[in-house]
Structure 1
Amino acid sequence: MRTPILSSPKTPTPHSRNSYQLAKSAPLVLYPTPQSSVDIASPRKSISSPSSGRSSPSSKNRDTSSDGSDSDDEIAEYLRAHDELRKLYPHDDKVPHSRICVLGAQSAGKSSFLSSLTGIDLYCAVRKATSCRTLISSRRGGIAFKAEIFILVLNIETNEARSVPFATSISDVAEMGEICHWAGEEARRTDNDLRDVRPWSELVTMDNEGKKDGEADWPEFTRNVVVINVIGPDRPNFDIEDLPGLNGHHIPFKMVSDCISQPQNLIVLCLSAGSKDASLADPEIKLARKFDPTGARTIGVITRADQLIPTLEVGSTFIDYLLDLRDHLGEFRPQGLWWPLRLRNHQERSKKASLQHVRDLERELFSEEDWIKIQNQIGREFGIGKVAVKLEEMFGSKVRENVILLKKSLRDSMQIQNEWMINNPSIEDPIGTLHDIIIYRFSDLLDTKIRRSNQSGQLVDLQTKLEADIQKAVPEFMPFLVDEGVPEGYQSFWKSQGFHVDHQDRVFVDTLLGSIHEYTSRRNPDEIDSRAIMRSYQEKYVNKWDTITKHHVISLWAEVDKLLLEVAKEVCGENVVLRDTLLERLDNLTYTNKSETSNFIQEMINLFSSSPEDLICPSKFRLKNLKDEAYRHYHKHLNQSWQTITTNTGSSGSSSPASSVPRLLHDIISPEDREKCARFQANIGLNMMSWAIEFSSIVGKQAQSRITERFTKNVAPALRKGMQLDQVTENVRKRAGDLFESDKKKKKDRVMRMKEMTKLSEIQQHLDRISEF
C-alpha cells in the first residue's frame, strides 16, 4: 500500500487578487458558466515534505504590488472586451469568441472533469452522458453564487436560432446538477425547434414519466445548445464548451471538429487511464494533431489517475506523458502540459459522494510518496486546482491574442471595403440622398433598435411587468377570518403555483361569506346567485386592469419616444433643425398608433367586463387543471380545527413556544358554509387568474405588435409624405438610378458592402469604447 507523505492540504482561502476586476463588469450574458471551489492558488515549483514546512495561505496569493498586478489588469481589460463583444454579437462569424473545448472519447471522464473543475455536479454516466454542446461561462465577481441556463434552439431548415430561458436566478449550487441534466434532455426533446421548451419551473412539478413523455422520438444527439452562465466571488475566469464524446457517430465528430478547428479556442484533450493506452489511431488524437499539430492550444488531462502505478523507472504510457520520456503520439506534445486527475468514479457517484470529498481523495493520492517523486521530478503539483489555474492563465492569454487579432482583421477588412467604395462611388443625387441617407436610414435604424428592445431590452421588460401586475390585481382568497388574520408560514394557493402575488387584495372568508349570504335566496337557501357574486369581483378587478394597462401604454410609448430621439440624433448629428423636423413629421403617426392602441385596450376591457358566461371557457386555459387542487387547498385550511399561534413575552420581544388553540372560524361558520366558501374561493380565483393571464397576453402582444409592426413599417412613408417627397415614387427613383448606373450587380454589391462597412464600423466602435489597449 502506498504511504501518504503529505497531509491533505486545507481548502485555500479566496484568491486575493482583484478578481480580474470583473465584479462590476461581468454581467450574466447569453453564454455558459460554471462554479468552482477548486484551489486557484499559484502552483509551487516543487513539493516539500512536512518537515520542510508549508507556505501559509496568504503566500499563495498573488502580490498585487508586483508587476503581476499590471498583467492581471491588462487581462481584465481583454476579458471585459471579450464579454462585451460576445454579448453584442453572440453568433457573428466576424466576431469569434475564445473558449475551452473539451475533447475526448465517450466515457473518458469529460463530464466528471468539468464537475470537479466547476464545482457543479454535472450529469455523468458510465456510457453517454452528453448529448449536445454545453457552453459554460464562468466569471469571478459579485458577492454570491448566481447562475442561469438557456437553451439555444436551432432550426436547420431556416438556419435560425432562438435563445429560450430554461432556468434563471439560480442561487443554490446544489440544484445545478439536476437542472443541468434536464436542460440537456429538454435540448434533445426540442431538436430542430419541433417543440416548445418547457422551463425548469414547469419540469420541477412533474414526475420522471411526465418529463420523459415521448422520449422514444427524441434524437440521440441534438444540435441545440445548452448555455450556462455562472458568476461568483470564487469563480475562475474562463468559458468552456463541453462536447459529446467521440463514439463513431457523425454528429459528435462534426461538433468536436467545428469547435477545436477554430484558432481562437483552447483544447482540453481528455484521456482515461482506466482504458487502453492512447494511440495515433484514436479519433481524439487524430483531431488534436490535425487542428493543433504543435499542441500550442492544447492541455492534456489524464483521468482515473488512481488506476496508475506512479514510478520513475518503468511506468505506463501515461506516466511517460508526464515525464516526457518517450514519444507515443507522433511528436504531439500539449504546450499546456499533461495533468493527471483523480475524479469521482461510478461507485462514488452512486453513493452520492460529494465533490469536496473526491477532491480530498485526490489530494491524498498526490500526497503519496511515489506521486511526490514524480511531481518533484517535473517541478509542479498535480490536482484539479492546479489545472484550473493553468486553464485560467491560458484562457486569459488566448482572449488577449484573439481581441488583438480581431482589431487588426477589422482594420484590414474596413480598408478593403473603403478602397472599393472609393473606386466605385455612388451617384450624387439630392433626392436620393434624402431618401436613402436620411429617411431610410432613420427607418431602418429605428426598426433595429425597437426590435432589439423588444427582444432583450426595455420593451420586453415592460411586457413582463404588465403580466406580473395584472396577475397581482387578482383577489387572493384567504381561508381565515379577518379576526384570525393570516398565520405565520401560510402560503397562498396562487403563490405556491408560481404566480405573482403581492398580498394587497386579500379576501377573507367572512367577507366572501357575506357576499354569499347577500346573494342567497331567503325563500330557498340552496339557491345562490353565483353569477352575481362572480360579477361583483369581475367589475372591481377589471377596473384595476384598466388602470394598469393605461400606465403600460404610457410607458411603452415613452420608450418609443426615447428611441426616436436616439435615432434622430444618430442620423442627423449636430443638425438640430433636421432632427426636430424629422420628429415633428412623425407626430401624427405616433398619435394615431397611441390612439388605436388605447381603443383596442378599451375594447378588451369591455369584453372582459361582459357576462362571465361569455368568458368562462375552461378548455382554453391550462389553469383548469388547478380547480380541484385549489378546492382541496381551501377546504383543508377551512376545516382545520386548531390554529398554531406564537405569543410575545416580556418587553424584549422574545416569543414563547408555539401553541395550538381552537379556531374561531369553526364557532362562526358552519360546515355547510365552509364547503360553499371553499367552492367559491376555488371557482372565483380560478376564473379571475385565467382571465388575468388571457387579458395580459392579448393586450401585451397587441400593444407590442402595434409598435414593432404597424408603427415601424409606416415611418418611412410618413416621413416621405411629411417632407413632401411622396410623389417621388419608388418606381421613378429606381428608373432614375438605372439611367445613371445600369450595372445592377455593382449597385447590389455597393449595398452589401455598405452594410458590411456599417457592421465593421459598429464592431470597431464597440472595441474602442470598451477597451483602451
Structure 2
Amino acid sequence: MSSQQQRPSFQLRASRLDAAVSSNSPGRHLSALSAEYDRQVRPFIDLVDSLRNSGVDQDLNLPSIAVIGDQSTGKSSVLEAISGVHLPRGQGMMTRCALELRMKREETSQWRALLRTQSFKKRQLQTQSDGHHMTKPEDVEKAVLTAQDKLVGNKRAISQKERIVLEVTSPDVPDLTLIDLPGIIMNPASDQPSDIVEQVDQLIESYVSRQETIILCVIPCHQDIASNKALSVARQHDETGKRTLGVLTRADLTEPGAEGNLVDLIQNRGESHIKLGYTIVKCRSQQDTINGVTLQQALQKEQSFFDSNKVFSKLPNSCKGIPSLAQTLTKQLVAHIRSCLPALIESTSRELGLTKQKLSQIGKPVPDDKQTYLINLLYEYSRQLRAATEGGIGVRTTSVAISCNRDGTLLDALKSHSVQLFSKAREAFEELETEMEMLMPNDKDLPKIETLLHKLRGAKLVGFEDYPIFAELAREKVSSLETLSMNCFENVTDLVQNAFREIADKQFRRFERLRLCVVEQVDELFEKSKEEGRQILSTMMEAEKIIYSSDKTFKDCLKKIPDSEEIKQQMKLKAIDYDSQISGNSSPRSSSPQSDQDGGFQLFTAAQIELNDDKPLRPTRGGLEMLRKLKAYFQIVQSRLGDSVPMVIMHNLFKEFTKEVDAKLVSHILSSVGEGNTGFKDSVRPTAMLLQEEEELTIKRENLQQKAKRLQEGERKLKSFSSARHLDIN
C-alpha cells in the first residue's frame, strides 16, 4: 500500500477534528481542541511563525490572516475576544501599525505574553531582542500603546514599515496567528496628516494584495453591508472571494426585521462575494468594558444572546459565536498554509538561488592580505584586456566563467560576459576595405584624365600618354586612401578605449578609487601606444605617395584589367548620341556610338567634360589606357593597405598596448601605495583606500548575506517539515 493510501487525506483529518471539537463538553471557551487537533494543527502554525521569526517574511509572502475593517466597527473587540487580551479600544484610530498577534495554546502553562517591536534599519527588518514580558492580560493594552508611541511617534499618524509582534501563550487561546491592521477611514481628522487615508490604504493593500493572505473582513450588522468599505477593499484584491472570510459584529444592534437578511447571507442564500463564508458574533461592547464585564462573562453573554434570539438561534453553531469563529479561522489558516507549501518551498529555493547569484556578482569582502588581493585584481584586469584584443572566447568580464545559456546558445553567453573587441575591430577593417573599393578608378574619372591629357599635351602627338599625369592621379587616390585609413585608426582607437574602460568598470566596480586609478594609468599607456601607431601609419601613407610597384606585380595586375578595346566594347552599351547633347536635341538619332578621328567614343555630355572655352572633350584611347593602368595600380595599393593598416593598428593598439599594461600597470599601482608616488598625478594612495568599497555596496552585500542566511534557514525548515509529515509537495 502506498504512503498516500496509508495516510488519511487532509479533508478526512479535518472532519475528525470537527468531530473532536463538537463532541467536547463546555468549559474553557476553546479547551475543546483535542489532542488530535493539537497534532494536526499546531505544527503548521508553528512552522509559519518560525519562518517569521527567522525573518523569511521579509523576502517571501507567508500564509497569514489579515484583519481589516472600517474604523470603529468592532475589529479590536473580535481580536480581544479570540485572544483573551485587552487591546487598545476607543473612538478614532487605535491601531496605528500592523499588530501580529500570535496565539499558542498550552494546556499546562500559565498565561504569559511577549511583546516585541520590529522596524527597518539599513533596509533590514530588525526585531527587538529582549521585548516586554507580561503575565497579566490586562497589561497588554498599555504595552501596545507604549510600543506604538515609540514606533510611530505622532499619536495621530501611522507607520507602514514598523510592526508589533505580540505572542500570547495560554490554555484558553486557539493556535492561530492574525495580523491586525489600522481601521479604514474615509476622511482625515483635523489633527491627522493630510495623507492619512492614503497611508492606511497602502498599508492594508500591502497585506491583502498577497495571494498568500486570507482576508478577515469585519462588518457591523447594523450598517449597510453592500456599501462597506472593507468589503470593497476585499473585492478589489480578491475578485473571486476565495480567500475572503467575513465576520459580522454587533449582532445585538441588528435592526428588527433585518435578521432574516443576515441569516440568508450567512447561509449563502443569494449572491455573496465571500466564498469562505460568514460568522456572526457579539463581542464585549465599550460599555461592557466600563461596567467591568470580563471576557469570559462576555462569551457567556454572547451564547445566551444567540440562544434566546428567535432568528439567530436557528443558525448552525459553526456560523455563530467567538469560539466557532476561532475554530473556523484556525482550520482555514492551516488549510491555506498546507495548500501554499509547495509554492512556498519552490519560491524559497528560487529566491535563495537568485540571492547567491547576486552575492557572487558583488564578490566577497576584501581579505586581510590586501596587497595580494590587489595584485590579483590587476593581473586579472590585464588578462581580460589581453583576451579582448586577441579574440576568441576567453575573455570574461565577471567572476563567473562563460558557459552556455539554458537553451544552449553560446552566442548569448558570449554577449553577456565578454567584450567583443577583436570582432568589432574586424568589422572596422572590413568597412575600410569596402570604402577603399568605392574609390576604385572608374569611368567617372575619365573626364579628369582627358582634361589633364589635353592641357598637358604640349607638342606630343595624340595617343602618347604622360607618366607624370599618371603619378599625379595615383597620388590623389592615395591621399583619399590615407583619409580612410586614418579614420579607421581613430575608430578602432575608440573601440579599444571603450573596451578597457568597460573592463575596468566591471572588474573594479566595487572599488571606485582603484577604478579611477587604473583608468588614469591605462589612459597614459594607451595614449603612448596610440601616438606611436599614428606616426607609423602616417609614415606608411607618406611612403605610399611614392608611386612604386615591382614590374612583375604591376604587369600581373594589369593583365587582369580589360584593355582599351574591351573597355570600348563594354562602353558601347551605355553610349550617348553626343551630337544630340551638343545641339540640345534630347532625342537620340542612333543607338550606335559616334567615333572621332582618334578612335575614341563620345560618351560624355558637355556638362561632364569642359575646358575653359566651354568646348567639350571626347574620350580617347590614351585616356582609356591610363584609366586601365590607374585601376591596376590602385588594386595594388588597396591590397597593400588592406593588410598593412589593420596590422599597424593591431600591433600598436592591441599587442604593444597590452604588453605595456602587463609590464607596467601592476608595478605603477603598487608604487603608488608604497613610499613615494610613481606614475600618478595625485598623492599617495594607500592600499586600503584603493580597496575601499562604496558604503552602498557594503550594505548591499550585508543585506544579501543576511537574506541568504534567512532563506537557507527557511528552506531547511520547510523541507524538514514536509519530509517529517510526508507531505506531497509536488
Place the TM-score, normalised by the shorter chain, in its bin.
Answer: 0.3 to 0.5
Report the TM-score when normalising by structure 1: 0.44
Larger Rg computed on CA atoms: 2
